[in-house]
Amino acid sequence: MSWSSPFRARDGCLTPRSRVFLYLGLAGTLLLLSYQLILYSPTPEETIGVIVIGDKNDFPDSEPIPPPAPDPAPAPVPTPTPSSEPSPEPTPAKELIFAAMEASNMSWVDEHLSDWTANIYRADASQGLTVPINKGNEAMVYLTYIIDRYWSLPDVSIFLHGGRYQWHVDNPLYDSVISIRDLKADFVLEAGYVSMRCAWSVGCPRELEPARYLRERPDDSHHPAAMEYPDRFMELFPRAEVPEEVGAPCCSQFALSKSKIHEQGLEHYVRLQQWLMNTELNSGISGRIFEYSWHSECRSVFSQVFPELTFIVIFGKPNQYCLDQHECYCRTYGYCDMTDEEMQSQWTWRGLTLPEGWPDPKPVPVQAPEVAPEAVPAPEPVQASKGSDADPGPLQSRASPQ
């Protein structure tokens, strides 16, 4: 007699219902085992505790784990004392650019400005620092330097003529050394473009009237640069309106910051130099056109549609850029305590050439005027005083030296 399970089907296989009960039983058993394992498993902290506090005799080959080393104390931060001063700001890099000729005596630069980096361009030289072509006076030198050094400019560049003593240098001795040494580099970095001259005597408040000359075309043979300026301005700066008036201190000596130069792309300066190389104008007139263009910013030719639109001609200052003289001397050179009288005597007109040997000109001998013989009066006879034994003689007069 064979026993048969009630869960077994007649064909010997489990019924679907029996399979369900079997699976549920197996699942419950696995859950119970998992719970027991979790319940009785020691935590990592308990495991470490057992190892640390256990008797070392029970573990002859093991060593106790040392406690973790404490974090090192942070280094004390020094507290500045009230007497400590902040470190000075680095001195801006400055260089001089001179427009000279081969015959120019530039020894004064090494003698008096040896702590400066000097770039002496000799426009008529075939070697060394020179220019592609000797045209445009100092303008060609200035543009050549900017193009050559565009990617390696110093913080401040000072553009100057080659002579030490020049009639337009703005101090009582007309001495470029004084102007260079006293120039405030901080003001150049702030303003971008700074004229080396503050006096208004030449160039300010107005030197040119380009728009009127363009309209009226006057025959001004005494001022050829004024006649040429409107047309040449349109050639150089076709996107700018011809200005009504232009004024700035003469005479093409100024300082620039690197950032001001970089406001214009390198190709702009190359185009200006190319115009200067190709123009048929003589150097005096082409150089004068640049003299009164370096500083300028003009309205754009599209200003009727966009009133606020301007065009930076070269260095972005108003067409009439003549600072108040007190402010200019103070900010440019630090001469902030000048009286009106001192300011007026800071620069005086002595003509286009200084006396020979300036600032210690040789004295010019003064010759007595020639007098015709008949105009010389006859000497008056001198009579001896009564009671006197002195007799001056017939040739001695009151006018004779004793």
4 falls within a domain: no
pLDDT score recorded for residue 138? 98
386 falls within a domain: no
H-type alpha helices, 317-362: 325-333, 340-346
All residue ranges of the chain with pLDDT < 50 are 1, 3, 7, 9-11, 44-62, 83, 366, 368-402
12: left (phi over 0), alpha (psi -120 to 50) or beta: left
Share of the chain above pLDDT 70, in %: 67
49 falls within a domain: no
Its domain, for residue 110, covers: 94-346
106 falls within a domain: yes
Kindly report the number of other CB atoms within 10 A of residue 241's CB atom: 20
Q: Indicate the helix (H) or strand (E) that contains 35.
A: helix 16-40
Domain total in the chain: 1
Residue 177 near residue 110 (C-beta atoms within 8 A): no
Q: How many residues does the chain have?
A: 402
Q: Which amino acid is at 132?
A: P
pLDDT score recorded for residue 63? 52
304 falls within a domain: yes
DSSP string, 180-249: HHH--HHHHHHHSEEES----TTT-S-SB-HHHHHHH----TT-HHHHHHHHHHHHH-TTBPPPS-BB--
Q: Any idea of the CA torsion for 186, 288, 137, 249, to the nearest 10 degrees?
A: -30
Residue linked to tokens 């150097």: 283
* pLDDT tens-digit map of 176-215: 999 999 999 999 999 999 999 999 999 999 999 999 999 9
- Indicate the burial class of 125 (C-beta count within 10 angstroms; 0-12, 13-18, 19 or more): middle
103 falls within a domain: yes
Distance CA 2, CA 293 (A): 124
232 falls within a domain: yes
End-to-end CA distance of the chain: 184
pLDDT score recorded for residue 23? 74
pLDDT score recorded for residue 362? 62
Distance CA 252, CA 99 (A): 11
pLDDT score recorded for residue 183? 98
53 falls within a domain: no
* pLDDT tens-digit map of 267-291: 999 999 999 999 999 999 999 999 9
